[in-house]
Chains A and B, each alone.
Chain A
């Protein structure tokens, strides 16, 4: 029940700020909490569902490259709340045909299932740590499916331009320091689209550790989408660029897609 109330609160907040005008005059200055709530919805909840072909390029400090190619689908059970993800791996060859299913719940560990095609085995994966790397990339699970804004306290630091775009700079500090590997995070949130254009993660010693950059932002079916994302670990020199192609929203994806049936036999449109 608390979950529903919080979720609707979050939605109302976002709606409220939206009514105040996207990228509106400085007179209607939103609070840091409102900005981060809007950013969360803009980044992780656009549309009722979505599908995209994602190519991740993992580059080491010495320039060695590895590719991960996958089709990702998402369906929101509740705006700002529960979500389901279904992922089909195209590349590299040793994970080709693997499928991965996540049922994400706010305030609770995800349910995750992995299907290993060589063994025809559906296996549950322990999911108690959202900091784990996703497929070996510099993105963690939390970077892919979102960290709840309520887990941090937010402070509006300043307004600043990122390239052409006006942005709010918000500093976020985790309420439970042991739950994450950053001590604070700075987000540059686009005042027009509410998308994070840049993020800086500082480690427990206060040193800059990882930097997220939205390299390309495009409008798809009226929804602003970060179609090129870069996460760079400035301490190791390793970076991952994720490029989203063929992004489609509101496909009316059937709930059946997010089940064991689909894990074992993914629909043809995801596999191509």
Chain B
């Protein structure tokens, strides 16, 4: 991985210093894991940009080794999680620093510097205020859920006073979402499939390109309440055709304002989240390439039906602003989305055999756009160290819809992990 070689080197030095400073021998943790996913749906037609994805039977086939060290003192902590990945499908070996950060703890302030995962909001696989980078390829391919979240190279400062906390996040180096792309091993809807020449413009690391976020949170009358603000970019690229013809992918400016609340009510846990996406480079909605501003809302409910059986459901809606302008901007042959996208989700989790066997299913569907995702999964903890997971990722619906485009990636996956 190109990203963060300097960070990695710096971190190794810091960890070495931490190890030397630690009074007790430093415990080493991590795991070795194999993961594979077999494609269940064969494509009928295949665009030229997706030949690999159409020919390859395995969406995923890899071995992974993770090492974690986390020396800590009273007022500081260091965390380094590095991985070596042997990708059998691509025939590659790569290293990745998943997380590597320094924590400093002051009486009323927590500081975290380095590559870190940041998670905001209360949604279950529906992200409104959580704008931080995600690896959708990992999710679609059947890797464990933790790989959906990517680290950000960031500085995070959280101040605490009078039971209220304020977190400020600065991300100088933009990290986009990892999405299926032309030439990759995942199938997706590519409206520009005819154009094979492509380039991606990432926001360069500079002060004006720095992403910034703030989260103000506290417990209010038994509810966990948060307010959010974010200034940065869409993490999924927009595409426009340049002369050549060539497809230019870029990340338009985005501001997000939001709020969430979660609390015990109605015999379970009730969640609300709301966000306004301000698409700063297309406030009028007239640019066909850039996503319009939108209002996004979510309500969720979770309840333990009987001991060890939990059910949860969510309703979410995304309302496009300036839908009239959007409709006018779309060309005659272009797909047109409705002003609102409604989504319903359901999750059931059953724990068995003293919680060593977990049977779960997550279902998501959009009643008005018709696309869906279904993810049944069984995970058995064979011993305290060894676990095996078997599951399915199934996608369906109209080919142009968010989840429908992934139908050809529907897979049966298996993960075996030995942790220490």
Residues of A within 8 A of B (CB): 58, 60, 66-67, 91-94, 96-97, 109, 111, 118-122, 124-129, 131-133, 135-137, 140, 238, 256, 259-261, 264-265, 268, 271-272
Q: Which of A58, A97, A125, A260 contacts B354 (CB 8 A)?
A: A58
Contact A66:B356 (CB < 8 A) given known A125-B269, A128-B303: yes
Q: Are B385 and A92 in contact (CB under 8 A)?
A: yes
Q: Are B29 and A137 in contact (CB under 8 A)?
A: no
Query: Other CB < 8 Å A-B pairs besides A124-B224, A126-B303, A260-B165, 10 of them?
Result: A58-B354, A66-B384, A93-B385, A109-B264, A119-B145, A121-B119, A238-B354, A259-B219, A260-B217, A261-B158
A157 CB to nearest B CB, Å? 29
* Complex Cα spacing A66 to B384, Å: 6
Contact A133:B268 (CB < 8 A) given known A93-B385, A120-B116: no
Is B355 an interface residue, CB under 8 A from the partner? yes
- Interface mask (B101-121 → A, CB under 8 Å = 1, otherwise 0): 001010000100000111100
Is B195 an interface residue, CB under 8 A from the partner? no
Q: Which residue on A lies nearest to B75, using beta carbons?
A: A268
* Complex Cα spacing A271 to B73, Å: 10
Q: Are A265 and B105 in contact (CB under 8 A)?
A: yes
- Interface mask (B292-323 → A, CB under 8 Å = 1, otherwise 0): 00000000001110111010000000000000
Is B74 an interface residue, CB under 8 A from the partner? yes
Q: Are A124 and B262 in contact (CB under 8 A)?
A: yes
Residues of B within 8 A of A (CB): 24, 29, 31, 70, 72-74, 77, 103, 105, 110, 116-119, 145-146, 149, 158, 160, 163, 165, 217, 219, 222, 224, 262-264, 267-269, 271, 302-304, 306-308, 310, 351, 354-356, 381, 383-385, 387, 417, 419-420
> Which one of B103, B264, B356 has the highest number of Cβ atoms from chain A below 10 Å of its Cβ?
B264
By a CB distance below 8 angstroms, the chain B residues around A126 are 268-269, 302-304, 310
By a CB distance below 8 angstroms, the chain A residues around B117 are 118-120
30 contacts between A and B (CB under 8 A): A66-B354, A66-B383, A67-B384, A92-B384, A92-B385, A92-B419, A94-B387, A94-B417, A111-B222, A119-B117, A121-B119, A124-B224, A124-B262, A124-B263, A124-B264, A124-B269, A124-B302, A129-B307, A132-B308, A133-B307, A133-B308, A135-B355, A136-B354, A137-B354, A259-B163, A261-B165, A264-B110, A265-B110, A268-B72, A272-B24
* Complex Cα spacing A268 to B22, Å: 12
| Interface of chain B, main secondary structure | strand
By a CB distance below 8 angstroms, the chain B residues around A238 are 354
B420 CB to nearest A CB, Å? 6
By a CB distance below 8 angstroms, the chain A residues around B116 are 120
* Complex Cα spacing A128 to B271, Å: 16
By a CB distance below 8 angstroms, the chain B residues around A125 are 269
* Complex Cα spacing A244 to B216, Å: 38
Q: Are B103 and A93 in contact (CB under 8 A)?
A: no
* Complex Cα spacing A125 to B310, Å: 10
By a CB distance below 8 angstroms, the chain A residues around B24 are 272
By a CB distance below 8 angstroms, the chain B residues around A96 are 29
By a CB distance below 8 angstroms, the chain B residues around A121 are 119
B117 CB to nearest A CB, Å? 5
Contact A94:B419 (CB < 8 A) given known A120-B149, A125-B269, A261-B160: yes
Q: Which residue on A lies nearest to B387, using beta carbons?
A: A94
Q: Which of A93, A120, A136 contacts B119 (CB 8 A)?
A: A120
B124 CB to nearest A CB, Å? 9
Q: Which residue on B lies nearest to A125, using beta carbons?
A: B269
10 interchain residue pairs of minimum CB distance: A136-B355, A93-B419, A92-B384, A118-B146, A136-B354, A132-B307, A126-B304, A120-B117, A124-B269, A120-B119
Q: Which residue on B lies nearest to A238, using beta carbons?
A: B354
Q: Are B354 and A109 in contact (CB under 8 A)?
A: no
Contact A91:B354 (CB < 8 A) given known A120-B116, A129-B304, A261-B165: no
* Complex Cα spacing A92 to B70, Å: 17
Contact A93:B160 (CB < 8 A) given known A118-B146, A128-B304, A131-B307: no
* Complex Cα spacing A54 to B268, Å: 29
Q: Which of B73, B268, B385 contacts A268 (CB 8 A)?
A: B73
* Complex Cα spacing A243 to B24, Å: 24
* Complex Cα spacing A137 to B356, Å: 10
Q: Which of A66, A119, A256 contacts B149 (CB 8 A)?
A: A119
By a CB distance below 8 angstroms, the chain B residues around A132 are 304, 307-308
By a CB distance below 8 angstroms, the chain A residues around B103 are 265
Q: Which residue on A lies nearest to B356, using beta carbons?
A: A136
